[in-house]
Amino acid sequence: MAKSISTKAEVLKMVMINVKKNGDCLEYMGSRIDNYGRVKIGGRKGKSILAVFDKCVCHTCDNPPCINPDHLFLGTHEDNMKDMAKKKRAYRTIGEKSGVCKLSREQIKTIREDQRKQIEIAREYGLSKSHVSMIKNYKTRVNG
């Protein structure tokens, strides 16, 4: 049975024995949740907390396992999302800004107005017939 950890000093000790230096970063190598370090408090039935405790912590180094205080700053979830967008790390883009987008708004509009057979349209644009069908039936790129 694992030893129960209950004080901040014990948590800090547990965190520090699991740290590896990687460049300027101090990476927590213990248990992780979504690549962020975690420590279990209260034994098997206890609760997990992030290795950087229960604060919303943003990384200037963009390295989630890093716990180097010089690379961390406190902020809200919104601050963290703004930081991510500012650094162009936002992964969810839609429409023409998406890295996987094949068609412009104008092309979507043209396809929806095109009266030819869907297979002909698909060949012209390098799409599948089902993709053309989804465009025409507003199942994809609803806003063009």
- pLDDT (tens digit, 9 = 90+) per residue, 100-120? 677 888 899 999 999 999 999
Contact indicator for 20, 51 with CB cutoff of 8 Å: no
Q: What is the structure's pLDDT at 28?
A: 79
**Tokens in use for 99?**
């890295």
C-beta atoms surrounding 23 within 10 Å: 10
Q: What is the mean pLDDT of the chain?
A: 77
Is 37 in a helix, a strand, or coil?
strand
Contact indicator for 135, 108 with CB cutoff of 8 Å: yes
Distance of CA 11 to the CA centre of its chain: 27
Kindly list the distances between the CA atom of residue 134 and the CA atoms of 38, 40, 61, in Å, as whole numbers in the listed order. Answer: 43, 47, 41
Confidence class for position 121, pLDDT limits 50, 70, 90 = very high
pLDDT tens digits for range 44-91:
666 665 555 545 778 888 888 888 889 988 888 788 888 888 887 765
> Residue 71: what residue type?
H
Give CA angle at 87 (39, 104), nearest 5°: 120
